[in-house]
Structure 1
Amino acid sequence: MTAVDARAPYQSRAAHCALMGALLFNAGLCCLNTVGLPVTGGTVAGAEACIVMLALAFALDARAGPWLVLAALAAYAILILVLRGSTDPKMIRDLLIPVAFYNLGLRAPDIRDADRAALAAGLVVVAMGVFEYAALPVYEQCFNIVRYYIARGTMTAAEINGLTGSLFVSGVRPDARTILPFLGPHRVSSVFLEPVSAGNFGAILFAWGLYRPGMRGRALLFGCAAVTIILADARFGAVACVAVAAAMLAAHRLPRLLWFALPCAILLALAICGFESTASDRTNNFVGRLLVAADIITALPVEGVLGISPEKVFVSDAGYAYVLLQIGLVGGLAAWLLFVLMPIGSADAWRLRCAVATYICLLLVISDSPFSIKTAALLWFLLGAADGAGEDPGCSEEEVPASPPYAGALASPWPGLSGIAR
């Protein structure tokens, strides 16, 4: 019996364990730290590594594509780290998560496994969110988020906000709540410990619901998405839902070249804005966030753009700057090219990929959270499951766009990449 056959009976359970682990491990470690069991940055990194390794153990098989991608990733990472003079493995983690969970989704034995994973995750997030909102004092006794982030080294005591107490710094809206103001200033973080990821997660659930019209429990999934976004007062999550719906409608009318060019165009626009804008407003609104991102990008040295700068710069509010610093311009473009040109399972899977591309490109303007395993694990798993499901009834190859020289290449728009998705 082959190794793949031996794993087959446990494939679904292992996938669900990896996804739930990615969703819940931060909340679990925060609870342990709150009750007196110290947590460090090494603890968090170790837990994350175990989850990724579990995903890889059930994602890799005899297909050459994933192994070639991993080899290229390792070679590129070693080169960048040597040029940078650093041993920080964060870049490797950022690139491993999509490879591991996308291929884990490809091997899902049934698309309904992905449905169940999405719905189960949504119900867990909503249950914890309602608990946090309805019983905040009890929630804070179990989850001292500020103390946890200080313990893991991603926050300092100087950053403690008296307004938010033990919640994350963005856990309370300092001005008026945008969505349903009568709910008050508290922004629910649920299992994510910070509200930004909660809003992103809601947008991911919404996109999957659009992709799966025949899903059992689809209305409940949409309800989970809506409740999560509303409780988190996630302005981006609400906007992202509109954007991904538009992307799905327009996907088959637009060439692939446009989707590859989209992040390049956004990055160029931010750079021009940073160099040319004389506006001084940096408040917490749409224009202010754009200007902050533009300022960070235009302040990067050439070494930072190429990903070989040893200096650490705060870029959490500028995802494109984060990509440049961590992965580099060349590596970032190569990864995006791979994402756009990978083989497509069906016309509907292409629409989902366009929705994911829109979500990532928009989110990178204001945040580096597309790389957070808390939401990225489920996102890439669902995308892989969609490609692995094959052609859906009623879909035809002609519905999927292709730009020359890839015309008519649904099965393999880039022949050398055909092994990656199969």
Structure 2
Amino acid sequence: MRVVPGLLVIAAVCFNAGLAVVNGNITSLGPALVIAAEMALVLAAHAVALANYRPQMLPWYLLGAALLVVACWRSMALQQFDPKYFRDVLIIPTFVVLGMTFDRRSLNRVVVIVHAVVMITLVFEILATDAYSAVFKVKEYYINTRGYDVQSFWNKNSDLFVNAVRPDSRLFSFLDLHRVSSVFLEPVSLGSYCIVIIAFICARYEELSRTQVLFLVGGTLIAMLGSDSRLAAMSSVLIVAITVMGRRLLPRSVALVYLPVVLAVAFLYVTIGGIPAGSDDFPGRIAHTVHLLSRFSVDEFLGISSDPILLSESVDSGIGYLVLTQSIFGVALIWGAIVLASANRSSDQVRYVHAVCVYLSLTMIVSFAFLSIKTASLLWFVYGVLQLPQRPQAKPDLRSVTRSAAAHPLRRRAALVS
């Protein structure tokens, strides 16, 4: 049972890639099978957590219950229930409590295994793009299971994801390469994964060997360049800058202000700079969020809006999507739990909370990709593992060692020498 939580999070990261292989090379799949696979992972995670229940899990189950109440409130107001919106946020407490069943001493090993899988697939995609396309057939998988249309893809002749080739130039334009995706099948999630690994390194660098640090940092830089993620580059720089300040300069509660501050800066940037919404770049996405939130009425903030246009436009605004589907109260509950329900005993716990809140604050402005199980599972699993204290290593009983050494001449001599 000790390895089951780690295997579940590895499966959550990789299961979409496995289904894509089946869809492209064995038999066509539909949305129902993908939903069923994700539900199976969530149920398995809770089965493991409940079988190993501990009091630290209670706040997260209470959060899940509160979010269910929000979902029921929204359903009664709109006379319809969409389980997807509850599933989106259920991912958070699910993998936090799963992480609480795992041994902190094995956490580095799980992350390194996930990173190795991501890097192997990444190198395969870069060096043999045609073979990667033939194995995963990403475009076909998303058309069959996500309802995409062929016309949505910029490059109709490619089997890669819709935005694997941007209509404008790459951020890292010195690379003559499409935007790589690895096991995530699309580059946005690979960029999010890079941020998660940077957060992990910043939180756990004291517990990582030099080889592990080189492998994680080197692979992440390659993945960041390959995915051409502006968000990953900006978030990683800020996470490193903030976490190196240390625990004393950054109490845990300071993380509460990150999201409000980022939103305030975004509104000032768009208003003063006159940034127009509509362009598919970082400034355009920020402006889109500002203009979207500016159109919200009381119903939108209460999570009971029936406006389908606002909901469809919110896919490029994580905070807008969360408010529409969870209400402003649900967002406050989630944010408060992430910061205040976290442990505050060790520096890695505090650093990771700050890193996670920096990541969420920035990504909520431009995307709702942080809700994808492919990357959210690892993000919240690490969070959960770090909530529990490191088990102290048993110290040898000096009296028994002395007695044992005295009982045998050779042992007594060895004891004297040491």
TM-score category of the 2 structures, normalised to the smaller one = 0.7 to 0.9
In structure 2, C-alpha distance between the alignment counterparts of 1:252 and 1:276, rounded to whole Å: 35
Which of 258, 271, 276 is 1:262 aligned to? 258
Counterpart among 65, 84, 91 of residue 97 in structure 1: 91
Shift of 1:352: 1.3
Q: 1:220 aligns with which of 215, 223, 229?
A: 215
Q: Which residue of 2 aligns with 1:420?
A: none
**Paired residues of 1:59 and 1:101 also in contact (CA < 8 A):** no
Relative to structure 1, the CA distance from residue 375 to residue 164 in structure 2 (aligned partners, 3 Å threshold; closer, same or farther) is: farther
Which residue among 239, 244, 248 is the counterpart of 2:239?
Answer: 244
- For residues 75-109 of structure 1, give each alpha carbon's deviation from its aligned partner in whole angstroms, at most 9, with x where no partner exists: 23222222232221122212221111112212212
Correspondence list, 1:287-366, <5 A: 287-312=283-308, 313-314=311-312, 315-342=314-341, 343-366=343-366
**Equivalent in the alignment of 2:405:** none
In the TM superposition, what is the alpha-carbon distance from 1:257 to its structure 2 partner?
4.8
* Higher mean displacement: 13-22 or 267-276: 267-276
Counterpart of 1:370 in structure 2 is 370
* Structure 1: stretches of 5+ with no match in the other structure: 1-9, 394-422
Q: What residue is the counterpart of 2:117 in the other structure?
A: 124
Instruction: Report which stretch shifted further, 367-376 or 383-392.
Output: 383-392
1:400-422 Cα offsets, whole Å, 9 max, x none, are xxxxxxxxxxxxxxxxxxxxxxx
Between Structure 1 and Structure 2, the one with more helix by share is 2
The match for 2:381 is: 381
Instruction: Identify if the C-alpha distance between structure 1 residues 164 and 124 changes in structure 2 by more than 3 Å, giving closer, same or farther.
Output: farther
Secondary structure of the residue aligned to 2:70 is: helix
Taking a change above 3 Å as real, the CA distance of residues 105 and 258 of structure 1, as seen in their structure-2 partners, is same
Letter in 1 for 2:279: T
**For the Cα contact (< 8 Å) 2:138–2:159, is it kept in 1?**
yes
Question: Are the counterparts in 2 of residues 108 and 388 from structure 1 also a CA contact under 8 Å?
Answer: no
Structure 2 counterpart of 1:142, one-letter code: V
> What is the TM-score normalised by the length of structure 1?
0.83
Q: Which of these two proteins has the greater Rg computed from alpha carbons?
A: 2
Retained in 2: the 8 A contact 1:163–1:172?
no
Residue 281 and residue 57 in structure 1: after superposition, are their counterparts in 2 closer, same or farther (change >3 A)? closer
Q: Deviations over 1:184-206 (max 9, x none)?
A: 14011111111011011112112
After superposition, the Cα gap between the structure-2 partners of 1:274 and 1:301, relative to the gap in structure 1 and judged at 3 Å, is farther
Task: Return the offset for 1:175.
Answer: 3.0
Aligned to 1:137: 130
Deviations 1:139-184 (A, max 9, x none): 11122222211212342233122366221121013333222x3431
Shift of 1:302: 3.0
Q: Which AA in structure 1 matches 2:340?
A: L
Query: TM-score with structure 2 length normalisation?
Result: 0.84
C-alpha contact 2:252 2:354 (8 A) present in aligned 1: no
CA distance 1:198–1:259, shift in 2 (3 Å): same
The separation in 2 between residues aligned to 1:40 and 1:272, in whole angstroms, is 44
Aligned pairs for 1:27-42 within 5 A: 27-42=17-32
1:43: how far off? Answer: 1.3
Inter-partner Cα distance in structure 1 for 2:250 and 2:392: 21
* Preserved CA contact (<8 Å) 2:121 2:182: yes
Q: Is the 8 A contact 1:200 1:375 kept in 2?
A: yes
Q: 2:220 and 2:300 mapped to 1: Cα distance?
A: 37
Which of the numbers 46, 54, 58 marks the counterpart of 2:48? 58
Are 1:197 and 2:196 matched, yes or no? no
Point out the more displaced range, 307-316 or 124-133.
307-316
Deviation at 1:273, TM superposition (A): 6.1
Distance in 2, Cα, partners of 1:142 & 1:370: 26
How many angstroms does 1:391 deviate by? 9.3
SS across alignment from 2:316: coil
Aligned CA RMSD, in angstroms, stands at 2.4
Give distance in 2, aligned partners of 1:114 and 1:310. 43
1:273/1:299 Cα in 2 relative to 1: closer, same or farther (>3 Å)? farther
Distance of 1:164 and 1:244 partners within structure 2? 38
Task: Give the stretch that moved more between structures: 265-274 or 166-175.
Answer: 265-274
Q: 1:269 to 1:328 in 2, by over 3 A?
A: farther
Q: Which residue of 2 aligns with 1:72?
A: 66
CA-CA distance at 1:385 after TM superposition: 1.4
Distance 1:336 1:252 in 2: 22
Contact 1:55 1:101 in 2 (8 A): yes
Counterpart amino acid of residue 95 in structure 1 = V
Between the aligned partners of 1:76 and 1:147, the Cα distance in structure 2 is 35
Distance (whole Å) between structure 2 residues aligned to residue 40 and residue 226 of structure 1: 35
What is the total number of aligned residue pairs between the two structures? 381
Q: Relative to structure 2, which stretch is displaced further, 304-313 or 47-56?
A: 304-313
- CA-to-partner distance for each residue in 1:301-353, whole Å, 9 max, x for gaps? 43222211233322221111111112111110111111111132413311111
